[in-house]
Structure 1
Amino acid sequence: MKVVLTGQSLTLAQVKDVCYGFATVEIEEASMRKVEESRYSVEEIVSRKKTIYGITTGFGKFSDVMIAETDVNDLQLNLIRSHACGVGDPFPEIVSRAMVLLRLNALLKGFSGVRVEIIKQLQTLLNERIHPVVPQQGSLGASGDLAPLSHLALVLIGEGQVHFEGGIYEANLVLKEKGIQPISLKAKEGLALINGTQAMTAQGVINWIESMRLFYQSEMIAAMTFEGLEGIIDAFHPAIHEARGYVQQTEVAARMCELLKESKLITNQGEKRVQDAYSLRCIPQVHGATLQALDYVKEKLEIEMNAATDNPLIFNGGQMVISGGNFHGQPIAFAMDFMKIAMAELANISERRIERLVNPGLNDLPPFLSPQPGLQSGAMIMQYCAASLVSENKTLAHPASVDSIPSSANQEDHVSMGTIASRHAYMIIQNVRRVLAIECICALQAVQYRGIEKMAPVTLAFYKEVRKIVPSIDSDRVYSKDIEEMAAWLKKRDIR
């Protein structure tokens, strides 16, 4: 499997192939020619001693400080070292891999002025599965993800640390082992490597991939809960959803009907009750709205993945070199904040279904699904755990994009905080997965009480598969292990 990069056409499906499937990365020849032409323009600027930001001047508030021709290479090295001040735990390795891929793709657009050597070094890191260790905290999300991308750039010059073959090592040792020569940065290359939105976008891409996997899993789990509570299938009739007009809502209702087809545990309107609670009846409306948000996020990510986000940008063979603000992460900041809210709500409605599964006042199942109510607590505290997770999500869902703080002596006086939004979205997704794991464990027990032979063929197959991960509750045990094992299984498994 291989993915050919052009700088123009990278898709989320291809990112998934590279990051999860370790597809080999190749470079389109036409894109490489654009890189060479752009590099020639930079060398002309240096030789003619033109005043161009970041090439022959300092950075940020130092943009008025002229740099001698003899110092332009040192300027780039100093930039990387001084800006590599990220702190905290590193991004997950898969996010680091995505970061390298997206930075490579952006440079292939031919607006950044780097040498072919930079392109090939990034390509080598991907194909050799050498991934920079990048601290998560320290980016304002404007002027690009300066601190995170500086840690990425360190690896190209043989400094910093890398993930490699399951461990973390000094970059120079791994490069030497693989016979890879560290690069000496030339004019503009340091700036081109770090002035971009690839940290927030890389995390955002992984967020989206994991969110879509969780989204379809949530439908399957909700369908099993629906059976456990003998839900009223009429609420999913296509006429209701077509009358409203949201495509995603209609699609969710149709999938729920398909999942529950031939089930003997579902009911009809008036058979046992007239209406279900909203957490059952409104699954298409709520889940569908989450899917709408994820579709919006996908659109923004695929634009940003193929965007030139550094500064300055070089056009028309060097005839135009323009300083602008494409490094500003506001579009991704908004998208990640939207994702946070949408995914948090998927957990909110799941937790309400958990409550309906365990509360003896809301169903005719054994109280808290306990095998011996009173002596054994059953799933009582699992609902507490879910409630705690959804409450934490409400705090994390506070929008990061509404905040800003000036930097670089007020030269950079409005920033996006998009990387914070992206990181918090990832944290929410992990919490959502655990809430869904709890719902799944409870739904397994509920349908077991009802009689699994009455389940729909699709949900029964899922039940049998999941029972290999979490056995039936026949006595109280340490449920933490069950929740974490179920969440780990969901993280790896594609429903579709």
Structure 2
Amino acid sequence: MRNLDLIEVEKNLYSDEKYQLNDDQLEQAQKSFDFLQHFSEDKLIYGINTGFGPMAQYRIRKDQLKDLQYNLIRSHANGLGEYFPDLYSHATMISRLHSLSMGYSAASPDVLKSLEAFIRNSVYPLIPAHGGVGASGDLVQLAHLGQALIGEGRVRYRGEERDTKTLLRELNIAPVDLKLRDGLAILNGTSCMTGIGILNVIRAKRLMKWSIAAASLLNEITESYSDAFSETLNAAKKHTGQHQVAREMRKLLIDSKLIRKRPEHLFNGDEIKDTYFFTDKIQEYYSLRCVPQIIGPIYDAIENAEIVVINELNSASDNPIVCMSERDVLHGGNFHGDYVSFEMDKLKIGITKLSILLERQINYLLNPALNGKFPAFLNKGIPGLNYGLQGVQFTAVSNAAENQSLSFPASIHSISNNGDNQDVVSMGTNASWMTKRVIDNGFEILSIKMLTLAHALEIKGNYEKVSSAGISLLEQIRQEIPDFKEDTSYSVHLRKLIKKLDQ
């Protein structure tokens, strides 16, 4: 059975290397469909010849079975809110197609081929953000995907919203003719929350990488001591993330001539002789000194989230499950999204903590009472007449506060619904979507942090002592944000920098 990893999915999403079904997947789908068609002839099986949810007690006549599948899609395509960006619809389609290709859902091969055609032609169903409770799968969002597959509703194509039926005719893509349990197979899974979750992990990794680089440069331009990220100190704690963050900082700062070694200064008798008060900090503030210990747990959370969402991607999230090896159809709850929901909750808490760290590091650079090295708000002009970077701090603080509000766990917000059939739900799609918003805010705060770093380094000078990694980072920042001497609006330039960082 074909398994995907994060690297392959990232290529599918961010390059021209589209997800493609192989012959084995199509053969497996056909065998499973044929088996279920024969197996179900003289049996009562949920979602084939019964109603759905609390209506499962009703048996459906044979001449109504096709209508049953269409009715499911049409009745559940009632989401609201903003539509997913194309990238997120794309991730949802890959996730659902890959799950169906395993054969456990017994979806007809036509469904798989149609989904593949949508991906190949970059046709993106308009999927609303609001509606999923993440228990019997992402029913509402995936119903909007199903609506597009049967040629109804609206899609986005080449940046324009289009009528689905008209566009499919232009592209010579036939709407799916639903069979057996195709409607239920499309809807009844965690593919929406998983697709969003995969993108969250990809983007969180980028945010992490740049945040470590920014923290390293901050320690450099403030001439911090090296022992805080030394191998010996960090090895004294047994956490992988902490070790990895400290290792990356050492790598970035290896050729810095600004980072100080404590034995050469505070352990040097000649240096400290007859000194009662030291103007330089003996130990840096926590936002500088404790970077490995603060970012390390977030690193670990991202790594664990990757394991969970990739496991979910390579799983059968449906009900019932068609098991050909046992010649059986098994009823249970593989559509439930708590694995993804829990991990997204942890991930957004981690990114919120990272946002808080970034904002405090910004504040450190802007406040001369803290840093003792730079003018207030890194002002390059006339105090009182000019305001430096005072304005951007408000945005950073606002975003950090919003992230704190968004970080209450969605997974414990279970509300019974569906006639109390779904009495404990995961809210997995809410958790994934809220995590996306937290990451969006995190990139905005990071862009402001990068701007403050560039200003601080230019005020400090001493470029010949700055690490090669630090100079490279400064150059990348200034490619998107020019060095303005006068007060100016940075919003447009910060958006350009965010785009650069988030790719």
TM-score by length of 2: 0.94
Match status 1:281 vs 2:326: no
Name the residue aligned to 2:458: 448
* Conserved 8 A contact 1:229-1:357: no
- Displacement after TM superposition at 1:484 (Å): 2.4
Match status 1:41 vs 2:35: yes
Partner of 1:362, secondary structure, is helix
Q: Match for 2:494 among 478, 483, 486? A: 483
Q: CA RMSD in A?
A: 1.4
- 1:382-421 to 2 correspondences below 5 Å: 382-421=392-431
Q: Match for 1:366 among 371, 375, 379? A: 375
Unaligned 5+ residue runs, structure 1?
1-5
Name the residue aligned to 2:59: 66
* Conserved 8 A contact 1:38-1:314: yes
Q: Match for 2:75 among 73, 77, 82? A: 82
- 1:144-183 to 2 correspondences below 5 Å: 144-183=137-176
Provide the C-alpha distance between the structure 2 equivalents of 1:122 and 1:211, rounded to a whole number of angstroms. 28
Match status 1:329 vs 2:337: yes
Name the residue aligned to 2:251: 258
- Displacement after TM superposition at 1:46 (Å): 4.7
Partner of 1:76, secondary structure, is helix
Name the residue aligned to 1:338: 346
Provide the C-alpha distance between the structure 1 equivalents of 2:159 and 2:84, rounded to a whole number of angstroms. 15
Partner of 1:47, secondary structure, is coil
Q: Match for 1:305 among 295, 313, 326? A: 313
Match status 1:121 vs 2:131: no
Provide the C-alpha distance between the structure 1 equivalents of 2:422 and 2:243, rounded to a whole number of angstroms. 45
In structure 2, the CA distance between the partners of 1:317 and 1:461, relative to structure 1 (3 Å rule), is closer
Match status 1:424 vs 2:438: no
Paired residue type of 1:62: M
Paired residue type of 2:86: E
Q: Match for 2:480 among 463, 466, 469? A: 469
Name the residue aligned to 2:385: 375
Match status 1:31 vs 2:25: yes
* Conserved 8 A contact 2:99-2:316: yes
Provide the C-alpha distance between the structure 1 equivalents of 2:19 and 2:305, rounded to a whole number of angstroms. 25
Partner of 1:381, secondary structure, is helix
Paired residue type of 1:466: I
Match status 1:11 vs 2:5: yes
Provide the C-alpha distance between the structure 1 equivalents of 2:76 and 2:16, rounded to a whole number of angstroms. 30
- Displacement after TM superposition at 1:228 (Å): 2.6
Name the residue aligned to 1:236: 229
| Bigger mean CA offset, 36-45 vs 321-330 | 36-45
Paired residue type of 2:328: M
Name the residue aligned to 2:272: none
Provide the C-alpha distance between the structure 2 equivalents of 1:155 and 1:476, rounded to a whole number of angstroms. 49
- 1:212-231 to 2 correspondences below 5 Å: 212-231=205-224
Name the residue aligned to 1:3: none
* Conserved 8 A contact 2:35-2:324: no
Paired residue type of 1:410: D
Provide the C-alpha distance between the structure 1 equivalents of 2:363 and 2:445, rounded to a whole number of angstroms. 12
Provide the C-alpha distance between the structure 2 equivalents of 1:355 and 1:395, rounded to a whole number of angstroms. 20
Residue deviations 1:30-57 (CA, integer Å, cap 9, x gap):
3322211211123224533x11100000
Partner of 2:34, secondary structure, is helix
| Matched-pair identity in % | 35
Name the residue aligned to 1:293: 301
| Bigger mean CA offset, 312-321 vs 336-345 | 312-321
Unaligned 5+ residue runs, structure 2?
267-279
Paired residue type of 2:249: M
- Displacement after TM superposition at 1:429 (Å): 0.3
- Displacement after TM superposition at 1:24 (Å): 3.1
Provide the C-alpha distance between the structure 2 equivalents of 1:301 and 1:96, rounded to a whole number of angstroms. 16
TM-score by length of 1: 0.95
Aligned length: 485
Provide the C-alpha distance between the structure 2 equivalents of 1:388 and 1:25, rounded to a whole number of angstroms. 39
- Displacement after TM superposition at 1:292 (Å): 0.4
Paired residue type of 2:300: Q
